[in-house]
Amino acid sequence: MKPNNLESLWMPFTPNKTFKKDPRIIVGAKDMHFISDDGRNILDATAGLWCVNAGHGRKKIQDAVYNQIGELDYSPPFQFGHPKQFELANRLVEIFPEEMNHVFFSNSGSEAVDSALKIALAYQRARGKASKTRLIGRERGYHGVGFGGISVGGMVKNRMYFGSMLSGVDHLRHTHNPELNAFSKGLPEYGAELANDLERLVQLHDASTIAAVIVEPIAGSTGVLPPPKGYLKKLRELCTKHDILLIFDEVISAFGRMGTPTAAEFFDVTPDIICCAKALTNATIPMGATVVQDHIYNSMMDHADAPIELFHGYTYSGHPVACAAALASLDIYKEEGLFESAVESAKYMQEVAHSLKGTKNVIDIRNMGLIAAVEIEAREGAIGSRGFEAMKKAWELGVMIRANGDTIAFSPPLIVKNEQIDEMFETTKKAIESLN
């Protein structure tokens, strides 16, 4: 049933006026499909917003959440603890890189990022490097919508309306280079040297003023930009050389999207801090986490002001219901071997995605892990209009895809079957071909 009046809701990241004239309403979801209000099954090629990695409507998570509300619906996270938040932190550090053994909980990717930036600054101060206050992001980066996240972020529209943001922030060049790398299968060959852009910023600001660098290991929201081969390793080396923390924003990439628990493991590059959210609870209950290396936590415990080492936290940090959902999600990922099956599906999806080369207006295809992107040429003077129309057409044809500008992104749940991958791309091809 459609709500009678769509006007009272101000929808996020949505053209409200256009949407409300022709709404797309979702009333249910199961496994690989959404159900629309007109009763159609819509194949979910995006795992919602890169987050429903185990597929929709998972009974185990439903039961865990239901039982948790009955047992302990809420307890305050400051000065008191409940068992499941410790259990979840333990489970997370088991699957995160070896040196990363401490977890700070929040409620979203944006908060996980702001927590990471604040921890980086507090850590530098606690260990006697209080001049290290600059934060370095990267052009085209997306780190959520808090003021910290948009300051280090690099997507123009997310920044231009909101004033001057945090001071003392600078940006590395982005890594997108279609002249050399268009239609790369997997990681692009060219561009590792772009990591040296950090040297330029060190020469400009001096390393003694820089606290941390934050990047997405694979840039998602900006239109899927896998890192050039060797880029992340080089960036890690430079951060270590200049005593700068490296933060990976893994809000999209953690929990199996790369076939591994983290992209850090996939790339064999260990950052100092990882931010995650989304698939942590299979998106059923909002939750974010900021996971840090021992040297950061130990330094804070040893040197930060006593008695409270970090003046930061949320009413819902480590919420018991979110913890229950996360524990059940981690169980499902493990019991069903979903990270492993993502590796197989990713191989298949790479070939199917690249078979769209030659389709009308397609100018690039990119992929990595269980992520793919098909970029269509922008209409002159109307950037994003073809992407938007392709998304609408695919919805009519029964597939949910995501348009980031004129790039169509695919990030299906890890339970996806090969026939469903075929359907995702056949429908997308039809949708693209229907556009002028």
Contacts of 70 (CB under 8 A, 6+ apart): none
Contacts of 300 (CB under 8 A, 6+ apart): 119, 122, 123, 126, 309, 310
Contacts of 66 (CB under 8 A, 6+ apart): none
Among the listed ranges 66-74, 141-149, 344-352, 428-436, the one in contact with ligand PXG (CB under 6 A) is: 141-149
Nearest to ligand PXG of 181, 404 (CB atom): 404
Phi, then psi, of 107 in degrees rounded to 5: -125, 5
**Pairwise CA distance, residues 252 & 160, whole Å:** 24
**Pairwise CA distance, residues 66 & 121, whole Å:** 39
Residue 249 is a binding residue for ligand PXG (CB under 6 A): yes
CB of 286 to ligand PXG, least distance (A): 7
Among the listed ranges 36-44, 92-100, 248-256, 328-336, the one in contact with ligand PXG (CB under 6 A) is: 248-256
* Binding residue (CB under 6 A) for ligand PXG from 121, 195, 202, 252: 252
Encoded tokens for 126? 């606690």
Given its phi and psi angles, is residue 232 left (phi above 0), alpha (psi -120 to 50 degrees) or beta? Answer: alpha
Length of the chain: 436
Residue 110 is a binding residue for ligand PXG (CB under 6 A): yes
Output the CA angle 227-232-159, nearest 5 degrees: 65
Residue 49 is a binding residue for ligand PXG (CB under 6 A): yes
105 bridge partner residues: 289
Residue 138 is a binding residue for ligand PXG (CB under 6 A): no
Furthest CA-CA distance within the chain: 64
Nearest to ligand PXG of 224, 323 (CB atom): 224
CB of 250 to ligand PXG, least distance (A): 7
Nearest to ligand PXG of 281, 299 (CB atom): 281
Residue 406 is a binding residue for ligand PXG (CB under 6 A): no
Nearest to ligand PXG of 125, 366 (CB atom): 366
User: What is the Cα 283 distance to its own chain's centre?
Assistant: 12
CB of 114 to ligand PXG, least distance (A): 9
Find the residue with minimal CB distance to ligand PXG: 109
Given its phi and psi angles, is residue 10 left (phi above 0), alpha (psi -120 to 50 degrees) or beta? Answer: beta
Binding mask 262-301 for ligand PXG (x = CB under 6 A): ---------------x------------------------
Residue 113 is a binding residue for ligand PXG (CB under 6 A): yes
| Sheet-wide strand order for 245-249 | 100-106, 288-293, 273-276, 245-249, 210-215, 134-138, 169-172
**Pairwise CA distance, residues 27 & 230, whole Å:** 44
Residue 307: cis peptide before it, omega within 30 degrees of 0: yes
**Pairwise CA distance, residues 35 & 425, whole Å:** 20
Nearest to ligand PXG of 77, 288 (CB atom): 288
Nearest to ligand PXG of 47, 194 (CB atom): 47
CB of 294 to ligand PXG, least distance (A): 24
Binding mask 202-231 for ligand PXG (x = CB under 6 A): --------------x---xx----------
Nearest to ligand PXG of 144, 259 (CB atom): 144
* Binding residue (CB under 6 A) for ligand PXG from 48, 97, 144, 154: 144
Amino acid at 410: F
Residue 402 is a binding residue for ligand PXG (CB under 6 A): yes
Q: Judged by CB under 6 A, how many residues of this single chain contact ligand PXG?
A: 18
Q: Tell the burial category of 143 from Cβ atoms under 10 Å away from its Cβ (0-12, 13-18, 19+).
A: buried
* Binding residue (CB under 6 A) for ligand PXG from 58, 143, 386, 393: 143
Residue 375 is a binding residue for ligand PXG (CB under 6 A): no
- Footprint on this chain of ligand PXG (rule: CB under 6 A): 49-50, 108-110, 113, 142-144, 216, 220-221, 249, 251-252, 277, 402, 404
